Amino acid sequence: MKLKRTGKILLYVAATVSVFLLVDLTFPFRPVIPYATQITDSKGIVIHAFLSKDDKWRLYSNVSDITPLLRKTLIYKEDQYFYYHPGVNPVAIVRAAVRNVFSGKRTSGASTITMQVIRLVEPRKRTYYNKIIEIVRALQMELHYSKDEILQLYVNLVPYGGNIEGIKAASLLYFGKPPQLLSLAEITALTIVPNRPSSLRPGTRNEALRQARNEWLTRFEKEGLFEQNIIRDALDEPLTVKRLQVPRQAPHLSLRLKKQFPDQPIIQTPIKSQVQSQIEEQVKNYINRRKLMNIHNASVLVVNNETMEVEAYIGSADFNNPFDGGQVDGVRAVRSPGSTLKPLLYAAAFDKGITTPKKVLNDVPSNFSGYEPENFDKHFNGAITAEFALANSLNIPAVKVLKEIGTPALVEKLRKAGFKTIDKQAKGLGLSMILGGCGVTLEELTRLFTAFSNEGKLKKLSYNSDDSQDKKGTAIVSAEAAYLVTNILTQITRPDLPTNFDNTYHLPKIAWKTGTSYGKRDAWSIGYNKRYTVGVWVGNFSGEGVPELSGANTATPLLFSIFNALDYNSPKGWYKSPANISFRQVCAASGDIPSEFCDHQIPDQYIVGVSAYTKCQHLRWVFTDPSGKMSYCTYCLPERGFEKESYPNIAPELIAFYELQKIPYQKIPPHNPTCERVFHESAPLIVSPNDGSEYFIRKNEPSQIQLACQAANDVQEVFWYVNDKLSKKAHPNEAVFINPPFGRVKISCSDDKGRNSDVWIVVRRM
């Protein structure tokens, strides 16, 4: 008889379990909870948060966020047998049923934490039938989730009135701190609010909440849950609670990451919260002082060179300012770079062996097929070194270097460096790109300059903890070229040093480059040391130009201020010379290897096996008569009665500059007039008109075209021909004007040595 009864019981149990498993398979418990997106800093502290899809402040907490103090308090208050029951507490159910029956009304509940989670995930009316469903669901949940996961769900979903859900959201919005920093008094206050959300709402019912908190603390003391001195401190702790705003740091980066990871509840960034706050305040105050100058915005990006992590991201001076485009993300806005690409250009030139720091270039008026660049200050410096050209951001030498390297080569480097706008513009870019005739972003430029700090290797910027580390990087320039550029950009005797920063301890030890776009619409300053690269842009998002705007005096002071606050007297030291960098003596007049003429030599750094080994030719031997008034070539050299003298071997463009500026220079005497030899080298260079150009002229209002050339040092006269007919005889640097015929026109220039150059133009009627 007992065996039959036992068999029936086992049969009932088996049937019940089978039904339960069938229900579990048919109606699985897989909650989909729309959490609010929270952006955290490098330490996991929330710096920005967004409402969930159902407009709730429901912030996800990890199991690690539940401190032992919070766990102990919560379990004691809500479900003391949480770790012992299977989701349902039978003793509590029986006790509640008896009380409800004898009282005729619901006086006591029996909900476990698991059952409360079920009710929060699947809210239903409070009926006995729905209670049974909750019990089944609770058993299901215990089957598939650990106790810690269930407690985590409860902590994330417990309501606090209005649209606040979860202890993390309540902790931030009521106490302004994460749950890990809550005291016993604060934890107790938060655990009792969900039971009476209306009468105990923080901020509006603080006194009632304090009294209820103290009642529970006294109860904890009687039960011996915590030590007496801890309870006493908690009872004495004041309760000053008010509804706070969620953190709103790094708004532009936060919006960017939320769009990139829309379904990720927690996005951890490498942002240093203190650094971010400090620079946000610096930028805001800096721009407030310049609004009277009609300068309304700035953007800053701070990158750790060792980890490539972005530690500060300021998209605008004030995100909440709608009048000046505060919500525009200036870090990603496409702007003209001004001169900020020149370091990459010179690094490429160093790598190709085209130039070295002491190589002499000519900063003189030049015409590049119709393109005539000018320097920022409208002045020209004549013969200067490459390092002087870069440190002083001279335009003409940069265009000459780009012409020699080739625009496609520089575009390819920028494409490799991830400059997306330049990649789209590649086909239409010319020599003007090195002076700002292209589009870049602050993000792209700052990343590019990190390569100079990392031995020429470009690595991916890291914006969140999920970004894979790019340890090797991509070599944009060599380590040697990066070192040479860094040395040049560290110099402080340069025009882009801000006013009042000269000879001051406020000047940080950094390498930096400024840039000002055409029309003074954009001011740039990008600086770096071994630890950080900081990119600064200042201007107006409207694109309005400002006469006072410049990279040196507008962007660089902010850059220096940020570096002084961020990494003043950096412990990382400075860059060491790569093994393949060496010194050699060069001629001061040319920057080339000294020849027999070079009596003034200076040291110059060069890349071994790469830099060109060119003999200096700044002087050349010339045969003259004893009085030095006539020169001879080897063809007409007399047998006796001549002398051999050294004369400057000056480029025609530099001669033209000297003549224009009235700068005296040593001229080669006129050649022997009786010599009949025709010279073929050093023919005049026609700089106007441009070969292949089209000119449109009104028939009734004929206009003139200027003829101009650059001739060798020994030329006294040039002869201009139009369609092979002599038009004018003039001095090499004399401006000549003609009225050209219509159609295809041949322009020729011959010097007094018989050397000739031709160009063709087309003249059309308008």
Residues in the chain with pLDDT values less than 50: 107-108, 502-503
Residues classed as catalytic: 78, 339
Domain that holds residue 533: 342-567
Return all residues near 579 (Cβ < 8 A) that are at least 6 apart.
Answer: none
Which amino acid does the sequence have at 674? Answer: T
The pLDDT of residue 665: 86
Count: domains in the chain: 3
Residue 654, in any domain of the structure = no
* Residue 739, domain CATH: 2.60.40.10
In a domain, 192, yes or no: yes
Helix (H, G, I), strand (E, B) or coil at 627: coil
Rounded-to-integer distance, Cα 705 and Cα 117, Å: 87
pLDDT of 427-484, one tens digit each? Answer: 778 888 999 889 999 999 999 999 999 999 999 999 987 766 777 889 999 999 999 9
Contacts of 61 (CB under 8 A, 6+ apart): 152, 155, 156, 166, 167, 168, 179
**Are 353 and 232 part of one and the same domain?**
no
Q: Decide which of 236, 267, 298 is a domain's last residue.
A: 236
pLDDT recorded at residue 573: 82
Beta pairing, strands 619-624 & 631-632: antiparallel
CATH of the domain at 393: 3.40.710.10
What is the pLDDT, as a whole number, of residue 109?
Answer: 57
Residue 739 pLDDT: 85
Q: Is residue 268 part of a domain?
A: no
Task: Specify whether the backbone of 93 is left (phi greater than 0), alpha (psi in -120 to 50) or beta.
Answer: alpha
pLDDT given at position 169? 93
Q: What does R_g of the chain's alpha carbons equal in angstroms?
A: 40
Q: State how far the Cα of 45 lies from the Cα of 66, in Å rounded to an integer.
A: 14
CATH of the domain at 27: 1.10.3810.10
Report pLDDT digits (tens) over 600-653: 999 999 999 999 999 998 888 889 998 888 888 877 888 888 888 988 988 888
What is the pLDDT, as a whole number, of residue 107? 46
Q: What are phi and psi of 103, to 5 degrees?
A: -90, -15
Question: What is the pTM assigned to this prediction?
Answer: 0.84
Please enumerate in sequence order all residues whose Cβ is within 8 A of that of 320, keeping only pairs 6 or more positions apart, or say none.
326
Q: Is residue 636 part of a domain?
A: no
Residue 392 domain-assigned (yes or no): yes
Q: How far apart are CA 272 and CA 275, in angstroms?
A: 5
pLDDT at 108 (0 to 100): 47
Please say whether the beta carbons of 668 and 713 come within 8 A: yes
Pick from 236, 263, 280: which residue ends a domain? Answer: 236
If asked whether residues 551 and 690 sit together in one domain, one would say: no
Does residue 363 form part of some domain?
Answer: yes
- Counting every residue, how long is the chain? 766
Residue tagged 């770079």 (tokens): 337
Q: CA triplet 545, 547, 553: central angle to 5 degrees? A: 105
CA 108, 113, 115, 121: dihedral to nearest 10 degrees?
130
Q: Per-residue b/e over 752-763, b at no fewer than 16 CB within 10 Å?
A: bbebbbebebeb
Q: Answer whether residue 317 is part of any domain.
A: no
Residue 111: per-residue pLDDT:
81
Q: Please report whether residue 669 resides in a domain.
A: no
Which residues, including other chains, have CB under 8 Å from residue 566's CB and lie 6 or more apart? 275, 279, 302, 532, 534
Give the 3-state secondary structure of residue 535.
Answer: strand
User: Of 501, 536, 567, which closes a domain?
Assistant: 567
Rounded distance, CA 593 to CA 602, Å?
A: 10
Structural contact between residues 335 and 441, judged by C-beta atoms closer than 8 angstroms: yes
**Beta strands 694-697 and 756-765: pairing type?**
parallel
pLDDT at 503: 44
Strands 382-385 and 457-458: unpaired
Parallel/antiparallel/unpaired status of strands 532-539 and 619-624: unpaired
